[in-house]
């Protein structure tokens, strides 16, 4: 019964992308669109990346953007080069954060955002999303030994929430609905949230659980932290592109489909997530099957 429920949720998450692929397949075969034209005229594809969204998109020791989402976007770059017959097409990386990532995609500064952005109906009014490449949920990061296990345990305490994110709206809503006396500390990004927790400014940091696992893994003392709490949400991640760029969206989804069919996306998952000891969920396995559309 549990597996059926998970698969159903993944199906609902993927449904908009299946429809998009069907409706834009003919356009993909026949024409181009403003994003591809912009990339072609500039001779550059601009990738938006996150600096601390481990393991999706972050800076390594050499200050180079790397990660699971970056790997996937570099596959998209290969397909764009082939589509445009531009083998020397350059790649520019632009750092984005939760506050500016949607505007930068929407106004064309960034051609594709490769991070850890949750697809929501509200965001679909401003940008388009690819098929899901990950499924996450909102939980809490706390110090080991803390009595905090759920949001309800934060009464009289403080929680850090990243500004302009799905977890911020979700946890704020839960606190307000239950009339909990919890102090909310807004933070700009994951690094600031973890700093607030590690320095004792807050008792918990809440965001997508996979990002919390990444923060714990990269901490100087990982054993001092733990990810706790029930799953508060069902959050499909997608690559963001400018709205109504149907041909480019079809190309991106075709890349994802091939990566799944060839086993490359699973290999990338194993590379980036095995060190975090996070096995692939039933939700994500179902989403992968749904994304593997035939050519």
> Strand, helix or coil at 85?
coil
Does residue 96 share a domain with residue 15?
A: yes
Does residue 164 share a domain with residue 54?
A: no
Return the CATH number at 185: 3.40.190.10
CA-to-CA separations, 257 to 37, 129, 227, 251, in angstroms, rounded: 23, 14, 32, 10
Domains contained in the chain, number? 2
Does residue 52 share a domain with residue 182?
A: no
- The residue out of 228, 245, 278 marking a domain boundary is 228
Does residue 175 share a domain with residue 266?
A: no
Does residue 270 share a domain with residue 155?
A: no
The H-or-E segment that residue 50 falls in is none
Q: At what angle do helices 246-261 and 34-42 cross, to 10 degrees?
A: 90
Does residue 224 share a domain with residue 238?
A: no
Does residue 182 share a domain with residue 60?
A: no
- The residue out of 182, 207, 228 marking a domain boundary is 228
Per-residue pLDDT of the chain (295 residues; tens, 9 = 90+): 344 444 555 555 555 555 454 444 444 444 578 999 999 999 999 999 999 999 999 999 999 999 999 999 999 999 999 999 999 999 999 999 989 999 999 999 999 999 999 999 999 999 999 999 999 999 999 999 999 999 999 999 999 999 989 899 999 999 999 999 999 999 999 999 999 999 999 999 999 999 999 999 999 999 999 999 999 999 999 999 999 999 999 999 999 999 999 999 999 999 999 998 888 989 999 999 999 988 8
Q: For the whole prediction, is pTM greater than 0.85?
A: no
Does residue 239 share a domain with residue 119?
A: yes
CA-nearest of 162, 136, 157, 139 to 149 is 139
Amino acid 262: pLDDT? 96
Does residue 142 share a domain with residue 115?
A: no
Triad 200, 205, 209: Cα angle to 5°: 145
- The residue out of 228, 243, 275 marking a domain boundary is 228
Kindly report the three-state secondary structure assignment for every residue of 260-275: HHCCHHHHHHHHHHHH
Does residue 118 share a domain with residue 260?
A: yes
Q: Residue 272 is part of which domain span?
A: 2-135+234-291
Amino acid 19: pLDDT? 46
Does residue 182 share a domain with residue 87?
A: no
In contact, 215 and 54? CB cutoff 8 Å: yes
The H-or-E segment that residue 102 falls in is helix 101-106
Residues near 83 by Cβ (< 8 Å), separated by ≥ 6? Answer: 36, 251
Does residue 115 share a domain with residue 150?
A: no
Task: Take residue 248 and report the two structure tokens written for it.
Answer: 């480019």
């Amino acid at each position: 019964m549990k597996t059926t429920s998970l698969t159903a949720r993944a199906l609902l998450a993927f449904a908009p992308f299946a429809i998009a692929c069907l409706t834009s397949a003919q356009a993909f075969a026949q024409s181009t669109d403003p994003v591809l034209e912009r990339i072609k005229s500039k001779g550059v594809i601009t990738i938006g990346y996150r600096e601390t969204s481990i393991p999706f998109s972050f800076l390594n020791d050499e200050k180079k953007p790397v990660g699971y989402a970056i790997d996937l976007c570099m596959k998209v770059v290969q397909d764009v080069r082939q589509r445009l017959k531009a083998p020397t097409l350059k790649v520019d990386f632009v750092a984005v954060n939760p506050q500016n990532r949607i505007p930068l995609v929407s106004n064309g500064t960034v051609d594709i955002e490769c991070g850890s952005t949750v697809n929501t109906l509200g965001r679909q009014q401003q940008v388009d999303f690819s098929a899901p490449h990950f499924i996450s949920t909102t939980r809490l990061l706390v110090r080991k030994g803390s009595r905090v296990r759920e949001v309800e345990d934060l009464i009289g305490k403080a929680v850090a929430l990243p500004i302009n994110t799905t977890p911020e709206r979700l946890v704020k809503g839960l606190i307000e609905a239950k009339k909990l006396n919890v102090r909310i500390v807004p933070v700009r990004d994951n690094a600031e949230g973890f700093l607030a927790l590690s320095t004792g400014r807050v008792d918990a940091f809440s965001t997508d659980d996979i990002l919390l696992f990444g923060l714990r893994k990269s901490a100087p003392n990982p054993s001092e932290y733990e990810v706790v709490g029930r799953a508060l949400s069902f959050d499909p991640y997608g690559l963001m592109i400018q709205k109504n760029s149907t041909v480019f969206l079809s190309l991106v989804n075709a890349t994802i489909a091939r990566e799944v069919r060839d086993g490359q996306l699973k290999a990338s998952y194993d590379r980036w997530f095995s060190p975090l000891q996070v096995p692939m969920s039933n939700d994500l396995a179902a989403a992968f099957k749904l994304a593997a559309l035939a050519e």
